[in-house]
Amino acid sequence: MLKCPHCTITFHDNWSVSTLQVVGLNTWEVKHTVCPSCRNLTINLVCIDRASGTNVRTTTRIHPKSSSRPPVPQEVPEKLASDYTEACLVMSDSEKASAALSRRCLQTILRDKAHVKPGNLTDEIQAVLDSGQVPSHLTEALDAVRVVGNFAAHPIKSTNSGEVIDVEPHEAEWLLDTIEGLFDFYFVQPGILQRKREALNQKLKEASKPSLK
């Protein structure tokens, strides 16, 4: 069974296999299947390696590109959502590219939502930490961005956040985790609170009590 990466419907997957080439002890194949529900194609590249005496299969999804991250909440503005989504999608191919997109996305959030004075990313993160406006789990995550990314040794990450340069181990993933947390804090939670206030005000109104401002 396969969960369609396009429409998420689960279907009985009949794969068509085409052998591309046998190279030494490796056999390269392309497998594809069509979702009966949305009619979209899923394509895998398979390498069967017989070097160890047994068949070791390595399967890579080549279409559609997908990430294991949860989807971006709908409250997040398009320009941030697209940088973040791209950062997730390229992660398996290039952590450098992913981290560059994430740093740029992070900087935009800090400027637009935390209203930090535009400068370099290190100082902008410090300004948010000093402001006390974000909860402690996010201040710790932001502080760790500089530490995990070793910003001190790579000042260009800070002065030119979107630059594609070497990443430290786990840096790209940590950036995605941090941005997810910021999305929730700045875009999702305010909406939830607003809906709760509205519901409460409705009840207060029905009880002829003054509403919350």
179 burial class (0-12, 13-18, 19+ CB within 10 angstroms)? buried
Shortest reach from residue 11's CB to Zn ion, in Å: 7
Q: In what order do the strands lie in the sheet with 56-63?
A: 16-23, 26-34, 41-49, 56-63
Q: What is d(CA 201, CA 72) in angstroms, rounded to the nearest whole number?
A: 30
With CB under 5 A, what is the number of residues at the site for Zn ion?
6
In terms of CB distance, is 7 or 17 closer to Zn ion? 7
Q: Which of 38, 62, 192, 204 binds Zn ion (CB under 5 A)?
A: 38
For the beta carbon of residue 64, count every other beta carbon within 10 angstroms.
13
Q: Which stretch, 3-11, 109-117, 150-158, 200-208, contacts Zn ion (CB under 5 A)?
A: 3-11
Shortest reach from residue 67's CB to Zn ion, in Å: 17
Q: Which stretch, 36-44, 45-53, 162-170, 178-186, contacts Zn ion (CB under 5 A)?
A: 36-44
Three-state SS string across 161-177, please? CCCCCCCCCCHHHHHHH
For the beta carbon of residue 7, count every other beta carbon within 10 angstroms.
12
| Residue 35 binds Zn ion, judged by CB under 5 A | yes
What is the footprint of Zn ion within residues 90-119 (CB under 5 A)?
Answer: none
| Residue 32 binds Zn ion, judged by CB under 5 A | no
In terms of CB distance, is 13 or 184 closer to Zn ion? 13
In terms of CB distance, is 7 or 20 closer to Zn ion? 7
3-state class percentages of the chain: helix first, strand second, coil last, to nearest 5: 45, 20, 35
Three-state SS string across 134-156, please? CCHHHHHHHHHHHHHCCCCCCHH
In terms of CB distance, is 14 or 208 closer to Zn ion? 14
In terms of CB distance, is 7 or 156 closer to Zn ion? 7
Q: Which of 16, 37, 66, 150 binds Zn ion (CB under 5 A)?
A: 37
Contact set with Zn ion (CB under 5 A): 4, 6-7, 35, 37-38
